[in-house]
Amino acid sequence: MKKIERAKAFLQDHMDLFQCPICKESFNKIEGNSLECSQGHSLNISKKGTVHFLTKTMSNDYTADMLSPRYRIAQAGLFNEMLEAVYPHIDATTGTTIDIGSGEGSQLNYLSQLGLKGKQIGFDISKDAISLAAAHFDNAFWCVADLAQSPFASEQYDTLLNIFSPSNYKEFHRMLKSNGKCLKIVPEEEYLIELRSLLYRDREDKQAYSNDKVVAKFREHFDDTQTDTIKYTFPLTLENYHDLIEMTPLSWGASPESIDYARSHPLKEITIHVRLLVGRKNQI
């Protein structure tokens, strides 16, 4: 089945998962290759099987030049151990899961390999990210979207994945079913510490890292928060190492000289150190 036909079938069967980002009304039909709402707003379903839900142009730094290396190193297994620790916290493995800020799709795909089934949606504000996800993976419906103009219906989602991505807790609670779960991953102080030490060897202020404020904000919005620390080292080939430099936002704040220095001093391993936050929406 072609990607566009697969997407149309998914949308036809699961229109209840979406709302029009323009008027917030429900979608009620597919006309040709367009998804239409009850107020007549129409959104194109691309040949890649994706939908662009953004109502305005949005700039971001997550381009194909950054996301392709991320895809390669993810396929090499950089985040596998982290995701293996996340998976047991997904109660509704046959329910509806949405990956918020899915990037190029590797994380949601690996969870599928671990056993995640049911309806799966991945979205990102980066068109390049969703193009890569749609090209590589068919386990989920992929779309370009922003929670500020949300195309996702209320109280339809069992599990929200929020991995290395910003949060919108008002939207999270609106989207979650009663008793649904939000699983959030945030970096801890030793996340990629070896690379940070190379890129910012002349800036001590950049070598310390804390996400305590992010954790505190999560706790404000979920009364019964569970936390788990995940820490391991991942061996790097030279190819992995260069992909790591290209894919991480750590490089954005480093000087060209520091990036060159890091490239010429390849690491043999890298530390993954994150905190998993698990919050459950109170039953109504």
CA gap 156, 181 in Å, rounded: 12
DSSP alpha helices (H): ranges in the chain?
Answer: 3-13, 64-75, 80-86, 106-114, 127-136, 169-175, 193-199, 212-221, 238-247, 256-263
Residue with tokens 């070598």: 207
Give the residue numbers of the binding site: 20, 23, 37, 41, 79, 104-105, 191
Give the residue numbers of the binding site for Zn(2+): 20, 23, 37, 41
CA gap 209, 53 in Å, rounded: 34
CA gap 22, 28 in Å, rounded: 14
Give the residue numbers of the binding site for S-adenosyl-L-methionine: 79, 104-105, 191
20: which 2 tokens? 């029009």
Q: Which long-range contacts (CB under 8 A, 24 or more apart) does 61-64 make?
A: 61/249, 61/252, 62/103, 62/124, 62/125, 62/126, 62/128, 62/129, 63/126, 63/128, 64/128, 64/131, 64/132
The backbone torsions φ and ψ at residue 37, rounded to the nearest 5 degrees and listed phi first, read -95, 175
- How many other C-beta atoms are found inside a 10 Å radius of the C-beta of residue 271? 17
